[in-house]
């Protein structure tokens, strides 16, 4: 796949992962926006702080934001509704974070913000809604998986 990256140590070490992601994204000259779309505002705030502590320039888009900027934007799925980014990272796509029907909707919303590239990170088992990613040639919405439908866009996807 084009534009994939790996997450060191299952993405547990956010500082090194954040720096690696930032360097990776800056090399992508054809992309102007990177959305890091978390499930909740609290998760977005925590990740934004970790990125800032790691020296990565990013903007937090929350309910109080009045101006939308380009570059690296950290936000929640609910706030990202209606927005699009050249590349999107959806962190914490494990089965603990995305477990029920409301979570499935949030995950679908987060994944469909990507125009060109989508990167999903997780530690532990991947969400049951992303079960199709574990099998080569798997398709979203495959029978019996309960996977979220993500067919409406032609996007490169990586899961790490």
**Secondary structure (DSSP) of 103-155:** HHHHHHHHHTTEEEEEEE--SSSBPGGGGGGGSTT--TT-TTT-PPP-TTS--
pLDDT beneath 70, residues of the chain: 1-29, 132-160
Residue 143 CA: distances (Å) to CA of 42, 129, 130, 159, 160:
33, 11, 12, 21, 23
Give the 3-state secondary structure of residue 19.
Answer: helix
pLDDT score at 32: 80
Give the 3-state secondary structure of residue 47.
Answer: helix
Question: Within 13 A of 129's CA, how many CA atoms are on the CB side?
Answer: 25
DSSP character for 40?
Answer: S
pLDDT score at 99: 93
pLDDT score at 151: 38
pLDDT score at 130: 84
Give the 3-state secondary structure of residue 85.
Answer: strand
pLDDT score at 16: 52
Question: Within 13 A of 54's CA, how many CA atoms are on the CB side?
Answer: 19
Residue 125 CA: distances (Å) to CA of 15, 64, 149:
23, 34, 19
Residue 10 dihedral angles phi and psi, to the nearest 5° = 65, 25
Architecture of domain 8-159: 3-Layer(aba) Sandwich (3.40)
Residue 116 CA: distances (Å) to CA of 1, 4, 88, 104:
12, 12, 8, 21
The vertex-131 CA angle with 10 and 72, nearest 5°, equals 50
């Amino acid at each position: 796949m084009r534009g994939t990256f790996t997450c060191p140590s299952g993405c547990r070490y956010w500082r090194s992962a954040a720096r690696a992601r930032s360097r990776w994204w800056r090399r992508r000259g054809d992309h102007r926006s990177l959305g890091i779309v978390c499930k909740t505002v609290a998760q977005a705030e925590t990740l934004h702080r970790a990125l800032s502590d790691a020296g990565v320039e990013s903007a937090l888009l929350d309910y109080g934001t009045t101006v939308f900027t380009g570059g690296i934007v950290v936000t929640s799925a609910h706030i990202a509704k209606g927005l699009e980014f050249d590349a999107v990272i959806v962190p914490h796509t494990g089965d603990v974070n995305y477990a029920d029907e409301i979570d499935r909707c949030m995950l679908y919303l987060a994944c469909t913000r990507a125009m060109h590239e989508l990167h999903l990170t997780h530690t532990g088992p991947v969400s049951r809604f992303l079960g199709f990613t574990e099998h080569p040639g798997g398709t979203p919405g495959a029978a019996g998986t309960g996977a979220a439908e993500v067919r409406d866009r032609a996007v490169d996807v990586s899961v790490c």
